[in-house]
Chain A
Amino acid sequence: SQQGEEDPQALSIQEGENATMNCSYKTSINNLQWYRQNSGRGLVHLILIRSNEREKHSGRLRVTLDTSKKSSSLLITASRAADTASYFCATTHVYNNNDMRFGAGTRLTVKP
């Protein structure tokens, strides 16, 4: 069963706008990660946030984590056409870091 559930399933925005994707999960986690997948390619790791962290930044990416609500959000600022991809959240269980569960993903389309 999926651990993470992304919302929305699909998002379409104009270049320059911000994109926000949300992820909810079910069990206690060790960390939460976000990945990007371009069509027909493998997943690329974007950012990892530990369960004791609340916010993390990497370039144009901002991730928040609320363990009390079991939710996370990924914000991409000043989006570009090259950001068009599917974005997945993944969580590792607090007792087994090798069991990483992915959500079904958010499909982001950035129109030039």
Chain B
Amino acid sequence: DAGITQSPRHKVTETGTPVTLRCHQTENHRYMYWYRQDPGHGLRLIHYSYGVKDTDKGEVSDGYSVSRSKTEDFLLTLESATSSQTSVYFCAISEGGFQGGYTFGSGTRLTVV
């Protein structure tokens, strides 16, 4: 998707290992979000950022941490991956305010074995 890229696109990792997913934007948007998508649950917000070094928890933040040291990058870290964290992870960006929609990345499919 234009202006936002996620890496890697696919990853298989073992239980207990740390994993970091990267979201990179070229739109200079203030707001960035991490969601996970699981069958039957739609998308659920993990963490979001409203500026460099400014982050907050979402609905399902347990087991995840985030960092934003630059406007363009938002990292999601699973400190010790568990099988319940097998999911598709989406990053999204927004200009903010109350009127705009989000732009989503193409997703990272993470499998924890």
Q: Which of A35, A43, A48, A103 lies at the interface centre, i.e. has the most chain B CB atoms within 10 A of its CB?
A: A43
Q: How many A residues touch B, CB cutoff 8 Å? A: 27
Does B99 lie within 8 Å of A31, measured CB to CB?
yes
Does B45 lie within 8 Å of A99, measured CB to CB?
yes
Closest B-chain residue to A92, C-beta based?
Answer: B98
Contact of A43 among B44, B45, B90, B96 (CB under 8 A): B90
Closest A-chain residue to B48, C-beta based?
Answer: A98
Which one of B11-19, B35-43, B62-70, B71-79 is at the interface?
B35-43
Per DSSP, chain A at the interface is strand
Size bracket of the B interface: 20 to 34
Does A42 lie within 8 Å of B101, measured CB to CB?
no
Contact of A97 among B41, B98, B107 (CB under 8 A): B98
Does A98 lie within 8 Å of B31, measured CB to CB?
yes
Could you tell me which residues of chain A, from 39 to 57, have a CB within 8 Å of some CB in chain B?
40-45, 48, 50
Does B43 lie within 8 Å of A102, measured CB to CB?
yes
Interchain Cβ contacts under 8 Å between A and B, 24 examples = A1-B59, A30-B98, A31-B98, A31-B99, A40-B107, A41-B106, A42-B90, A42-B107, A43-B104, A44-B104, A45-B102, A48-B99, A48-B100, A88-B42, A88-B43, A98-B31, A98-B33, A99-B45, A100-B45, A100-B102, A102-B35, A102-B44, A103-B42, A104-B41
